[in-house]
Structure 1
């Protein structure tokens, strides 16, 4: 066992050696402490107009990176109550609040108390902000709630929108707006009387790829559009689901998924159709005792463009939008899907046929539409897809059913409620802000 003198000698030797190594390292020019290294401005960025920006660091052959998100602080975001906790809310809408920049989830209304309690805990909603469908009076007393997102079956939209407007809250309502044009008119009038905004959740009008198709068509890059094909199909089962009940759904494939075709071609062109022809077919199947399975309809527009729209509950899932123009063709695969959009352009290039797939930034469609509603509230703007847009689609769907019933051509009148003076986008508000 070493004595105290030996231990002291060893400790002295180690300290001396450490000091010698430090001196040698300094003599050889060791790196300065990390805190003394100052990053270049290209890496630190700078603050401009309330957000952090960076110069483009990529070479000219690569597309620039998107700017970093600039979310509002939580206390400045618009508080939303979501009404209805079915598949769409739980699978898409509630998760989308995690990607919004101007909105936050603050309340829930549901007809299933146990489910609402569980979901509220998952998303940090206060227990006192969870209500049944009779909870609109409580929403009226909650200053954190500025807007209500209606995600209940179509046949309940009118009553829930009227209740939200009566509570003094702005309203974002899922499509289709209602079960009839009469209901849609009542919803618009109620929101106008209450002095609140009404927006219909046409998510595709905010989605990046659909907006790019609209830009290409309206910009005339390939000349006038002649033929448009819109297809939205899927298969159904379980006859007890609400989409197969006329009182709750208002119809079958047409108002549920065919509406994407109808609204899509209207938004694409900015025009309103002047005539429609249609056919409806349904098999002998218990699923279709109350609603239709398959609808095909053709819309004629003032510019001469014809749009063929096909929708079905009995065909393999296809969600495509295609435009044949004078000088090229535009195809958007998965146009009406929640994700997976592919934009393909065909055109002449010299003596060759060029095929280009255009890659665009991907953003959550539900987050985009929710943030647009929040922007309209914060800046007192009219939504891009207000109640008038939903009403026009209700009127047109009633004309499609009439054309199918009679087998003839139904002439269409201009929209009964318009927001613009020009020839385009008569039932729409200003263009939405760019995603980024």
Structure 2
């Protein structure tokens, strides 16, 4: 998520955000969800944009057959790429997303939505975005009249995700939304319903599920590379800045460390195993007298219990030095994981296995990939080829149900049962193309 903008066209930062929740578009229940493989209507402006139009340049190999080979991806020409409007110009958008588009093969930024007109004008000049494609939060609905915009990427405080997703869907645009999806499972369901009704795709930006090292860890878990993974240990902690930022405001963020960084642990647990937890057990602690945590929680420790018997121990915190890692412990002489695991860059995989009576350490690596380019391009190819995204709205909805169970367990001090789901990858679409 981004740091919200300091001024919002015609409003103070605080008054706009307080008003936003009151002006959210109301939507009714809109029927049952389609099956995971169901197709959604694509926008008219993307009818001629297909992955089949991508161009690939072939070069002769320069390495021996035994070595890692260079890969030359197919790339769509600029006129055939999916055009995105970036909604919110905070830290994540400026530091990660807009630079990440330079590494995309099927996607391009074509519009900006911001409450700060001066900043938006500067950013548009930096990235060659036509000034006529700058919108604010009040005229946002006018994106319906811009055929250059195929999709929006929503990068706003959590409490604003529902409103701007529903408005985008009604404007006929596909939606890529940052995590957490919303502030509650009820809001998440409204977002799904609105996009289904409009015939538009909704994807939640779980970049970890597209990142190669994490995908290898998922593959090793599912294939039992080191035996059955019986225990997953995950840590995602950081030392939050002073009170006043939106992440420490419960109304805007929905909670503290749990929905922001604890979500990485629970979602990655679910991704690695492909399973859904049937029971959660949790506790919460906030340092007495620390102003940062007068509205939201500091530290959450929670366990997830899965149908296969795997147990995941997780901790997230806003009050200690940064650490982001996990390990999967298997029953056949080995463990593997990532450290760091959840960072934007510099991810490192590690593994250990007993071979010939000795413990052998490994550090598998693909050299690094831009996680944001991978997730954005996946959504673009889903729009082009009319496919369900790997992490659709239903994936985000399930995470909210898990988070709500964690809060309930911490409040009651007792285990909380969830609906038992035995199907693997129950809420995901077809996996992204390898490589």
**Considering the TM-score relative to the shorter chain, is it more than 0.5?**
yes
Matched, 1:163 2:195: no
Q: Which residue of 1 aligns with 2:431?
A: 431
Q: Which residue of 2 aligns with 1:22?
A: none
Segments ≥4 residues shifted beyond 6 Å: none
Q: Greater CA deviation, 295-304 or 53-62?
A: 53-62
- 1:238 Cα shift? 2.0
For 1:60 and 1:413, how far apart are their aligned partners in 2?
A: 49
Matched, 1:149 2:141: no
Matched, 1:273 2:247: no
For 1:133 and 1:75, how far apart are their aligned partners in 2?
A: 27
Report which structure shows greater RCO (CA 8 Å, sep ≥6).
2
For 1:76 and 1:59, how far apart are their aligned partners in 2?
A: 35
- 1:69 Cα shift? 3.7
Q: Which residue of 1 aligns with 2:407?
A: 401
Question: How many aligned positions are there?
Answer: 381
Matched, 1:57 2:32: no
Q: Which residue of 2 aligns with 1:189?
A: 193
Q: Which residue of 2 aligns with 1:354?
A: 360
Which residue of the other structure, out of 380, 383, 391, is the alignment partner of 2:386? 380
Q: Which residue of 2 aligns with 1:289?
A: 294
Matched, 1:103 2:127: no
Q: Is the 8 A contact 1:151 1:173 kept in 2?
A: yes
Q: Is the 8 A contact 1:109 1:135 kept in 2?
A: no
Q: 5+ residue gaps in structure 2?
A: 1-53
Matched, 1:176 2:180: yes
Q: TM-score, normalised by structure 1?
A: 0.86
1:116–1:50: structure 2 CA closer, same or farther, 3 Å change rule?
closer
For 2:384 and 2:67, how far apart are their aligned partners in 1?
A: 36
Summarize deviations over 1:154-190 as a string: whole Å, max 9, x none. Answer: 0000000000001000000000000000000000000
1:144–1:240: structure 2 CA closer, same or farther, 3 Å change rule?
same
Matched, 1:209 2:248: no
For 1:371 and 1:235, how far apart are their aligned partners in 2?
A: 32
Please say which structure displays the higher CA radius of gyration.
1
Q: Is the 8 A contact 1:208 1:361 kept in 2?
A: no
For 2:62 and 2:128, how far apart are their aligned partners in 1?
A: 39
Which residue of the other structure, out of 295, 298, 305, is the alignment partner of 1:300? 305
Q: 5+ residue gaps in structure 1?
A: 1-48, 416-421
SS of 1:64's equivalent in the other structure is: coil
For 2:164 and 2:286, how far apart are their aligned partners in 1?
A: 31
Once the two structures are superposed, the pairs formed by residues 108-119 of structure 1 within 5 Å of their partners are 108-119=112-123
Q: Is the 8 A contact 1:171 1:197 kept in 2?
A: yes
Q: Which residue of 2 aligns with 1:339?
A: 345
Q: Is the 8 A contact 1:136 1:167 kept in 2?
A: no
Matched, 1:412 2:434: no
For 2:428 and 2:337, how far apart are their aligned partners in 1?
A: 24
SS of 1:57's equivalent in the other structure is: coil
SS of 1:159's equivalent in the other structure is: helix
Q: Which residue of 2 aligns with 1:132?
A: 136
SS of 2:281's equivalent in the other structure is: strand
- 1:246 Cα shift? 0.5
Q: TM-score, normalised by structure 2?
A: 0.86
For 2:190 and 2:253, how far apart are their aligned partners in 1?
A: 18
